[in-house]
Structure 1
C-alpha cells in the first residue's frame, strides 16, 4: 500500500485468472458479496455497471450503522479497468486495474480524493478498509474458483 498526497494505492496479486477477477467487479450480485470492509454487508438499490451508470447502495456496518453511497461509473474497459466516482460524503475516484500475470491477476486499487483536507481526515481508516476490501475480494474469488 502506498499513500500519496491525496491518494491511497493498494495492490494485490491473486491466484485466479483476470476474467474471474473482472467478473467479480462487474457483476452486481458478486460485487454486493465482497464490497466494503470486514463485517459489512450491502443492499444495492441500483447498479448499472456501464459508463455513466449509477450505483446506489447502503453499506451496513457491523455495528448496525447504515452508510448510504452514491457513485457513477466513469469507465469500464473489459478485463482491464473499472473507474467510478464516489459522490456521496467524501468525494473520490476509484480506479481498479486488472493485470494478467499468466493465469494470475494483479489488482491495483487507487482511491484518489477530491479534497486533500478530507483525505487527511480519513486516510488511516480508508487505508485499512481498502486492504480488508481486497481480502474479501480474494475470499470471493476462492469461492468462485471451486
Structure 2
C-alpha cells in the first residue's frame, strides 16, 4: 500500500495446556466466539473455514454497533504455526498479517504472536506524525490482544472466562 508504514507487534504468552488445545482455540468456531474479538454474549457470527485459502469472520455487537473482523488463512501447520490476514473493514481497507507460533514447554506451551500492522498515512503527515501513529497503532493493538489473551488463558485453563465487573 502506498502512503503507509508498518509496525510489528510481538507478544509471548504461556498457557498451562498443550499446543494442540491452544491451536484449536484459534480455529474452532465455538471456541473463537468466546474470546476472539468478541464475548459469547455479544457474538453475532463466528464463522471459519480452516484451510489454506479459507476465510474466517467474527461479528461482535457492542454499544449498538456491529464490529466485524475478517481474514484469510495463509498457512496452517497444526499444532505449531498459523498465519492469517486480519482486517476490520469498517475502520480501514488495510490488511495485517498475523502469525501464531506454538511450542511445548515444561508448564504447557508458549505462544508467540506476531502482527505486522499496516498504518495508513494521512495527507501532510511529517516523520513525527508517522512515528506517533506507528506507536499508537502498536500500543492499542497490544492492549486489545492482551485482553483477548487473558480471556483465552482463562478459557483454556479453567473452562470459563470471568470478565472484571
TM-score, with length taken from structure 2: 0.73
Change (3 A) 1:47 1:110: same
Aligned length: 140
Contact 1:91 1:115 in 2 (8 A): no
1:104 aligned onto 2:119: no
Alignment of 1:6-85 (within 5 A): 6-36=7-37, 41-44=42-45, 46-61=47-62, 63-85=63-85
| Matched residue SS, 1:133 | helix
Contact 1:16 1:141 in 2 (8 A): yes
The one of 110, 117, 140 aligned to 2:155 = 140
Change (3 A) 1:86 1:66: same
Following the alignment from structure 2 to structure 1, what is the Cα–Cα distance between the partners of residues 33 and 12? 21
Change (3 A) 1:54 1:37: closer
The offset of 1:96, in angstroms, is 0.8
The offset of 1:60, in angstroms, is 2.7
The offset of 1:65, in angstroms, is 2.8
Aligned residue in 2 for 1:113 = 117
Larger radius of gyration: 2
Following the alignment from structure 1 to structure 2, what is the Cα–Cα distance between the partners of residues 113 and 79? 24
Contact 2:37 2:58 in 1 (8 A): no
Contact 2:27 2:48 in 1 (8 A): no
The offset of 1:34, in angstroms, is 0.9
Unaligned 5+ segments in structure 2 are 1-5, 122-129, 161-165
| Matched residue SS, 1:137 | helix
| Matched residue SS, 2:99 | strand
